[in-house]
């Protein structure tokens, strides 16, 4: 299908579905036009118009076009109307609403041998889906959220396996579960609860480890002061089920924990120190707002609705985003200079291991 044919198809779809909502104005009355580009399409209203051009109109067009274009294109949902200027001297058509897209739909990676797959990858990239890779050099911190049984632990194990050759790891596992088993198999130290030990004592041990990490950041900052291009190895602090650490803990110890991860999140980017946080939800009780604001890889898996996305994607209304069925599906947003800032449907990789850790 050529661009002109696709534009005509979109025009017909919008005329049929949108005409009744904008008082009968259509492209047949020269009220608007559509222009297809490589990275999306433009809705071009002819001004002055008999309908209001606002967020409501933008999202109505999104819903119509998203269904019409699926599965050839995936429209990338915006938080509000996306206006762009048009290069013309005609004041009647000097602006348009832009709807960015990507070719095709999200496709899941299927990995038959995870160990071999890890060794075959080029550093520092971590494959997420087909045609989507994460450059770990651009990562500040990662958050994985999802309800119980959504596949968080399975996804976390994939990230741990991919990070092992890329980064030093500090693993904190309050549930003494999958991350601890993975760490034992891979001979990586892990902090986990022990019998006859209080919750506050356990979190105090975590604070000690975080404090040592903060000292590493300070030392690296001193090196960067004299040599801004000094290369550092990555260091990643992995915390499974963050909410389990903050609930039922002594207030002073909890405040210290919040203070330490806030400082690490704020100072760690330049020194290659990262957080990988997993939780059922990321409200103010699980992590400080300052940490949430530093997250630049956001993953929400499981049930997707306005309530579940409110913490990682506070400005997003997920209506109209096609979420595939099955476990390990949801939304992802990567905020860096290599990806658009839009939220994408996510299918976490399916993988098999010879060791059968899971």
pLDDT (mean) for 107-116:
92
Q: What is the number of domains present in the chain?
A: 2
Does residue 341 lie within any of the structural domains?
yes
Does residue 195 lie within any of the structural domains?
yes
Residue 139: band (very low, low, confident or very high) from pLDDT cuts 50, 70, 90: very high
Domain identity same for 224 and 199: yes
pLDDT at 85 (0 to 100): 95
Final residue before a domain boundary, out of 103, 128, 158: 103
**CA 8, CA 36: separation in Å to the nearest integer?**
10
pLDDT tens digit string along 243-294? 888 777 888 999 999 999 999 999 998 999 999 999 999 988 889 999 999 9
Instruction: Judge whether residue 297 has pLDDT over 90.
Output: yes
Mean pLDDT over all residues of the chain? 91
Domain identity same for 99 and 134: no
Does residue 58 lie within any of the structural domains?
yes
| Cα–Cα nearest to 213, from 264, 156, 173, 161 | 264
Domain identity same for 54 and 128: no
Instruction: Judge whether residue 237 has pLDDT over 90.
Output: yes
Residue 356: band (very low, low, confident or very high) from pLDDT cuts 50, 70, 90: low
Does residue 243 lie within any of the structural domains?
yes
The CB-side HSE value for 315 (13 A sphere, CA atoms) comes to: 10
Domain identity same for 92 and 124: no
Least confident segment among 25-39, 151-165, 226-240: 25-39
Domain identity same for 166 and 248: yes
pLDDT tens digit string along 333-347? 998 877 666 789 999
Domain identity same for 185 and 42: no
Domain identity same for 61 and 134: no
pLDDT at 74 (0 to 100): 92
Domain identity same for 151 and 87: no
Does residue 50 lie within any of the structural domains?
yes
pLDDT (mean) for 222-240:
95
Residue 29: band (very low, low, confident or very high) from pLDDT cuts 50, 70, 90: confident
Residue 18: band (very low, low, confident or very high) from pLDDT cuts 50, 70, 90: confident
Residue 323: band (very low, low, confident or very high) from pLDDT cuts 50, 70, 90: confident
Does residue 357 lie within any of the structural domains?
no
The CATH number of whichever domain residue 303 belongs to comes to 3.40.50.300
Strand partners, 235: 168, 273
Domain identity same for 176 and 324: yes
More confident residue, 201 or 248: 201
User: What pTM did the predictor assign?
Assistant: 0.89
Domain identity same for 241 and 318: yes
Final residue before a domain boundary, out of 55, 81, 103: 103
Does residue 314 lie within any of the structural domains?
yes
pLDDT tens digit string along 93-105? 999 999 999 999 9
pLDDT at 353 (0 to 100): 79
pLDDT (mean) for 322-339:
86
Task: Please provide the size of the chain in residues.
Answer: 358
Final residue before a domain boundary, out of 103, 129, 152: 103
Domain identity same for 66 and 16: yes
Domain identity same for 38 and 80: yes
Query: Which domain range does residue 290 map to?
Result: 110-351
**CA 190, CA 171: separation in Å to the nearest integer?**
5
**CA 148, CA 196: separation in Å to the nearest integer?**
27
Does residue 311 lie within any of the structural domains?
yes
């Amino acid at each position: 299908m050529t661009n002109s044919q696709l534009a005509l198809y979109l025009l017909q779809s919008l005329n049929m579905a949108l005409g009744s909502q904008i008082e009968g104005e259509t492209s047949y009355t020269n009220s608007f036009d559509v222009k297809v580009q490589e990275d999306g399409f433009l809705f071009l209203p002819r001004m002055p118009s008999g309908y209001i051009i606002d967020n409501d109109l933008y999202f109505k067009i999104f819903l119509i076009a998203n269904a019409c274009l699926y599965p050839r294109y995936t429209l990338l949902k915006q938080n509000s109307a996306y206006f762009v200027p048009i290069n013309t001297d005609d004041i009647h058509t000097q602006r348009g609403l832009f709807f960015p897209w990507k070719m095709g739909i999200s496709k899941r990676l299927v990995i038959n041998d995870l160990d071999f797959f890890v060794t075959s990858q080029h550093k520092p990239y971590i494959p997420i889906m087909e045609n989507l890779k994460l450059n770990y050099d651009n990562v500040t911190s990662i958050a994985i959220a999802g309800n119980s049984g959504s596949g968080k632990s399975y996804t976390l194990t994939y990230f741990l396996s991919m990070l092992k050759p890329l980064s030093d790891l500090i693993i904190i596992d309050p549930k003494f579960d999958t991350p601890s088993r993975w760490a034992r198999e891979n001979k990586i130290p892990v902090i986990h609860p022990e019998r006859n030990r209080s919750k506050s004592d356990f979190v105090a041990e975590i604070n000690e480890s975080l404090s040592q990490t903060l000292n590493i950041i300070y030392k690296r900052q001193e090196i960067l002061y004299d040599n801004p291009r000094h290369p550092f190895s990555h260091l990643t602090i992995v915390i499974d089920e963050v909410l389990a650490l903050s609930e039922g803990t002594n207030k002073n110890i909890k405040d210290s924990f919040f203070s330490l991860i806030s400082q690490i999140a704020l100072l760690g980017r330049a020194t290659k120190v990262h957080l990988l946080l997993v939780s059922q939800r990321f409200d103010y009780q699980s992590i400080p707002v300052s940490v949430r604001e530093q997250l630049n890889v956001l993953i929400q898996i499981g049930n997707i609705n306005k309530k579940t996305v409110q913490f990682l994607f506070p400005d997003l209304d997920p209506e109209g985003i096609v979420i595939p069925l099955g476990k390990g599906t949801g939304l992802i947003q990567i905020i860096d200079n290599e990806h658009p800032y839009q939220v994408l449907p996510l299918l976490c990789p399916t993988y098999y291991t010879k060791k059968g850790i899971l």
